[in-house]
Structure 1
Amino acid sequence: MAGTTVRLRVAVSADETMTLDAVRVTLDERGIIVTATAATDADPASLLLGDPAVWLVVTDIEDWAQLDRVCALVRGVRLPGVALTTAPRGGLWGALIEAGAVEVLPADADSDTIEGSLRDAAEGRAGHSPAEVEGLVAQWHLMRDGLERMRRLVSSLTVREREVLELLYDGAPVAQIAERFGVAQTTVRTQVKSILRKFGVGSQLAAVAAYDRYLRPRG
Structure 2
Amino acid sequence: MTRAGSVRPRTVIVEDHALFAESLDIAMTMEGYDVRRVAVPETAVSASQMVAAVLKQQPRIVLLDLDLGAFGDGSRIINPIARAGANVVVVTASLDQARWGGCIYQGARKVMSKTRPLNEILAVVRRLSQGLPVMDVDEREGLLSLWQAQRRDTEEHRERLDRLTPRERQVLGSLMEGHQVKDIARASVVSEATVRTQVKAILAKLEVSSQISAVGLARSAGWEPPSRSDAS
Work out whether the TM-score is over 0.5. yes
What RMSD over aligned residues (CA atoms) do the two structures have, in Å?
2.7
The 1:68–1:180 alpha-carbon spacing in structure 2 relative to 1, beyond 3 Å, is farther
Do the aligned residues in 2 keep the contact of 1:27 with 1:34 (CA within 8 Å)? Answer: no
- Partners of 1:47 and 1:77 within 8 A in 2: no
Aligned to 1:116: 123
Map Cα deviations across residues 122-147 of structure 1 (whole Å, 9 max, x no partner).
Answer: 22333322111111101111111222
Q: Which of 28, 31, 35 is matched with 2:25 structurally?
A: 28
Measured in 2, the distance between the counterparts of 1:38 and 1:75 equals 19
2:229 is matched with none
**Match in the other structure for 2:137:** 130
The change in CA–CA distance for 1:165 and 1:29 in structure 2 (over 3 A counts) is same
Partner of 2:218: 211
Map of 1:70 onto structure 2: 77
**Range that drifts further, 91-100 or 151-160:** 151-160
Distance 1:24 1:174, change over 3 A: closer
- Tell me, which stretches of 5 or more residues in structure 1 are unaligned? none
Q: Secondary structure, in 3 states, of the residue corresponding to 2:205? A: helix
Report deviation, 1:82. Answer: 0.6
Equivalent pair of 2:64/2:74 in contact (CA under 8 Å): no
- In the TM superposition, what is the alpha-carbon distance from 1:199 to its structure 2 partner? 0.8
Q: Following TM superposition, by how much is the alpha carbon of 1:215 offset from its aligned partner in structure 2, in angstroms? A: 2.3
Give unmatched runs, 5+ long, in structure 2.
41-45, 224-232
The Cα shift of 1:208 comes to: 1.6
**Cα distance in 2 for residues equivalent to 1:74 and 1:152:** 32
The CA deviation string for residues 152-200 of structure 1, in whole angstroms up to 9 with x for no partner, is: 2223222221121122223222112111211111111111111111111
CA distance in 1, matches of 2:141, 2:36: 32
In 2, distance between residues paired with 1:146 and 1:112? 37
Matched, 1:94 2:132: no
Percent of pairs with identical residues: 29
CA contact (8 A) 2:157 2:221 kept: yes
Q: Using the alignment, how far apart are the partners of 1:52 and 1:194 within structure 2?
A: 53
Aligned CA distance change for structure 1 residues 35 and 67 (closer, same or farther; 3 Å): closer
Compare 183-192 and 44-53 and name the one that shifted more: 44-53
Of residues 201, 204, 213, the one that matches 2:208 is 201
Matches of 2:155 and 2:85, distance apart in 1: 27
**Structure whose alpha-carbon radius of gyration is higher:** 2
Report the counterpart of residue 12 of structure 2 in structure 1: 11
Counterpart AA for 1:196: L
- Is the 2:78–2:88 Cα contact (8 Å) retained in structure 1? no
Q: What is the number of residues matched between the two proteins?
A: 208
Distance in 2, matches of 1:36 and 1:120, equals 21
Residues 175 and 24 from structure 1, CA distance in 2 versus in 1: closer, same or farther, beyond 3 angstroms? closer
SS in 2 for 1:82: strand
Q: Is 2:112 the counterpart of 1:105?
A: yes
Q: Deviations over 1:5-59 (max 9, x none)?
A: 4545201224x4xx3x545532332224224526582353542345433111111
Q: If the length of structure 2 is used for normalisation, what is the TM-score?
A: 0.77
Deviation at 1:96, TM superposition (A): 0.5
Task: From the superposition, tell whether residues 67 and 54 of structure 1 become closer, same or farther in structure 2 (CA, over 3 Å).
Answer: closer
Distance 2:80 2:158 in 1: 24
In 2, the alpha carbon distance for the partners of 1:54 and 1:38 equals 16
**Cα contact 1:89–1:106 (8 A) shared by 2:** no
Distance 1:61 1:152, change over 3 A: farther
Q: Of the candidates 141, 145, 149, which is equivalent to residue 142 of structure 1? A: 149
Cα distance in 1 for partners of 2:139, 2:165 equals 42
